[in-house]
Structure 1
Amino acid sequence: MTTTGFDYVITRTLEAPVEQVWAAWTRADRYAQWANAEEVVLDVRPGGAWSSVMVIPGGTRVPLSGRYTEVVENKRLVIGMNVPGREELAIMTLDLAADGDQTRITLSQTLGSVEERDQSEFGSNMLLDGLTAFLSAA
């Protein structure tokens, strides 16, 4: 895991209990709905594999895969993603904190360049926008 580089941290408060937010990230049927993903497979356990095909605006399909490196139910997911041309996983940490019927979610990553960081931060904000809309419709 990269320990030096270019970081980002995004924190939001979601209008849903932590169990509902956890299920949205860890159940394939729910994840597919809010993340604009198809062919979602989630084996949510340390070392478990995940894969999906993201459908980005314009219809481009982007296959993604990786594995979970840490799983603490309703609290933390550390998700590694395979990146073409890199041997090590790109790691994203997702932390959840319950606050009654709300959940504070924090996404963070350390990347190797400003461009990678900016692209990943943009993508993470898009994911959180989709998650927020999904939870408000539930």
Structure 2
Amino acid sequence: MTTEQSTAEGFSYTLERTFETSVAAVWRAWTVAESYAQWSYAAPGSVEMDVRPGGAWKSTIVTPDGGQFPLTGSYIEVDENRRLVIGMDAPGKDEPAVMTVELAERSAHETRVVVSQTCDTSDERDVAEQGSTMLLDSLATFLKAAS
């Protein structure tokens, strides 16, 4: 069972989902390159992760129409099985876009995931929220198949 809640204020959004799996399984899905590549719409072989504060990551996302978009960034905060703060390099911007992923164990087999991000404009927020919603949908499918 996956439950979803979405809120948007100003140029920020927050998405909340509950997955029927352990916190450790969700953490591995977000932090192990081989797992992340399976659900994140990444081009084969494009995911690299150095999951530690200041560590770099990169991935090339493949859109439904076949377009490819390279993404890069770094990890700002890493609190294993609890919180990832991820910086995403944005073309033409001095500061990275920042997305926060928080995990909370509800029981041994239920994990709440909260994804939030603040953007510069409502258009950027809408695009980022749509992308994060697609990621969480794909993560739900991945975790269900893995359990």
TM-score range, shorter chain: over 0.9
Identity %: 54
Q: What amino acid is aligned across from residue 42 of structure 2 in structure 1? A: A
Aligned residues: 134
- Quick one: higher RCO (CA 8 Å, sep 6+), 1 or 2? 1
What SS does structure 2 have at the residue aligned with 1:99? strand
Shift of 1:85: 0.4
Matched, 1:76 2:83: yes
- 2:92 corresponds to which residue? 85
Listed as ranges, the matches of 1:1-138 within 5 Å are 6-38=11-43, 39-100=46-107, 101-138=109-146
| 2: CA distance, partners of 1:104 / 1:63 | 29
Q: What is the alpha-carbon distance in structure 2 between the residues aligned to residue 108 and residue 124 of structure 1?
A: 9
State the SS of the aligned residue for 1:84: coil
| Cα offset, 1:36, TM superposition | 1.3
Letter in 2 for 1:70: E
Secondary structure, aligned partner of 2:91: coil
Q: What is the CA-CA distance between 1:16 and the residue it aligns to?
A: 1.0
Q: CA deviation at 1:119?
A: 0.3
- Whole-Å separation in 1 of the counterparts to 2:136 and 2:52: 22
Structure 1 residue 99 displacement after superposition: 1.3
Distance 2:110 2:39 in 1: 18
TM-score (norm 1): 0.95
Matches of 2:106 and 2:118, distance apart in 1: 27
Name stretches of at least 5 consecutive residues in structure 1 with no aligned partner: none
What is the CA–CA distance in structure 1 between the aligned matches of 2:86 and 2:119, rounded to whole Å? 14
Unaligned runs of 5+ in 2: 1-9
SS in 1 for 2:47: strand
Counterpart of 2:3 in structure 1 is: none
TM-score w.r.t. the length of structure 2 is 0.90
Report the CA distance between 1:45 and its aligned residue: 0.2
Query: Matches of 2:145 and 2:66 in 1, distance apart?
Result: 24
